[in-house]
Amino acid sequence: MRKYIFSVLIALLSLPVIAQQQQSQAKVILDKTAEAFRKAGGVKADFTVKAVTNGLVEGVENGTIQLKGEKFVLKTSDIITWFDGKTQWSYMTKNDEVNVSNPTQEELQQINPYTFLYMYQKGFSYKLGATKMYRGKAVWEVVLTARDKKQELEHITLFVTKDTYEPLCILLQQRGLKTVLVDFDLQFGDAAFLLGAERALGLDEFIRHPERIARMDSPNGLPAVIGTPEKLEQSEAAVNHVGEMLDLLKVQFDAVVVNTGSFWSDCHIQVIESSEQVLFILDERPSSVRSCSRALDLCSRCGIAIQSFRFLLNLCSKHALLSALDVSCALQGIQVEELKDGGREVGELLGAGLPLELTSSKNPFILSLKELLPSLIPARFRLGESQEVSMPAEKKTLFSGIRKRRTA
């Protein structure tokens, strides 16, 4: 027994040592990369910036960048930006106007990914990643993480060639919203099950121990989940604490998403009144449209403004009984947007508690949801997605595929 405990202690003590070694090695790689850049003098590079969400490319921008030290000129089809080390001029070609500013270091990171070459020593921690090959070349993967939790740019992932210390690819990841999903379908809600959150905090437990939300996490990019009470009869207790629960959650999280279910009571009306945006999700059945109409009538009689209401028609396909236009007409001209029918895959993956496999797929339902999502998020929360700066693989590269040339 003593030998076993001793072995465990040795393993635990070795973990900080390994972490320190990885950090030290990562710094050496970053130092050598920065030095290679400085020795190159001026550099001109072609680049491609991709907006990537869950592995799906949602936007592509090509351009060129010329750099010398901290100064640069960046050109794309829509904008030309000059930066002299202090002042930035941006010319918008479509509007024929120029904006002049003094960007912060954080703002520069969004414009010029090369800023990591002279900023990594302050404001970031760094470690080695696991990737050994990138597009057929042996690489070091270095992951930089912003120490300031309020900074929008959360991670920079860098792939550097092992022989010449040239960046092949830079991945910029902005910080996501800290989100919690509250299942207020009090009797038969199954949000925790569908998201695979087996140990989700229950509403009854939240009421007894509200301090536990401070320790709630969003694992693997999923929202934190507060599920329905473990016992059906405990749901009544949650009804009396709606207001204080929402107030606590608003302090702890950037976004609070509440599933009300299709059966309403006084507490659900209170949730709606506290919400910035309300989504009605209907399906093609006439009974679903009728239920939505009755809910709107109830809101009207309760004096609830409907300006923040959005209406989504689920399971849309060319074989559906009703179209979005049909539903809009039935609801007296209210705008109705479509969510495509994702077929059996949606039910199978959610039923197996595998939401990430679903969201990373090219399922029609997911693609239509991602198209709608930016407009569903309040403007102040619309952060940029991850950006991958890359280049054609056949060229000697600086960013993945960036052609590197000395400037005159």
By the 10 Å C-beta count (0-12 exposed, 13-18 middle, 19+ buried), 142 is classed as buried
Per-residue pLDDT, averaged over 376-390, amounts to: 54
Angle at 347 between CA 343 and CA 352, to 5 degrees: 140
- In the block, tokens 């910035």 appear at 276
Distance CA 294, CA 289 (A): 9
User: Tens digits of per-residue pLDDT, 18-38?
Assistant: 456 667 888 888 888 878 777
Give pTM, 2 decimals: 0.56
Side-chain-side CA neighbours of 400 within 13 Å: the count stands at: 19
User: Tens digits of per-residue pLDDT, 288-307?
Assistant: 999 999 989 888 888 888 88
Distance CA 398, CA 167 (A): 5
Residue type present at position 79:
I
Identify the helix (H) or strand (E) that includes residue 282: strand 278-282
Strand order of the β-sheet with 337-340 is: 278-282, 309-316, 337-340
Number of C-beta neighbours around residue 327 at 10 A = 24
- At 373, give phi and psi (nearest 5°): -55, -45
User: Tens digits of per-residue pLDDT, 108-164?
Assistant: 766 766 666 666 667 788 888 776 777 778 888 888 888 877 666 677 777 888 888
3-state secondary structure of 403: coil
Residue type present at position 381:
F
Mean pLDDT in the chain? 76
Q: What structural domains does the chain harbor?
A: 19-176+385-406 (2.50.20.10), 179-381 (3.40.50.300)
Q: pLDDT tier at 379 (50, 70, 90 boundaries)?
A: low
Q: Say whether pLDDT at 311 is over 50.
A: yes
Residue ranges in 191-321 assigned as alpha helix (H)? 191-194, 203-208, 235-239, 242-252, 266-273, 286-301
Whether residue 215 contacts residue 252, with contact meaning beta carbons closer than 8 Å, is answered with no
Q: What HEC string does 36-99 produce?
A: HHHHCCCEEEEEEEEEEECCEEEEEEEEEEEEECCEEEEEECCEEEEECCCCEEEEECCCCEEE
What pLDDT, on the 0 to 100 scale, is given for residue 391? 42
Contacts 24+ apart (CB under 8 A), 327-336: 327/282, 327/289, 330/289, 330/293, 331/289, 331/292, 331/293, 331/296, 335/311, 336/282, 336/311, 336/312
CA 306 from chain centre, in angstroms, equals: 28
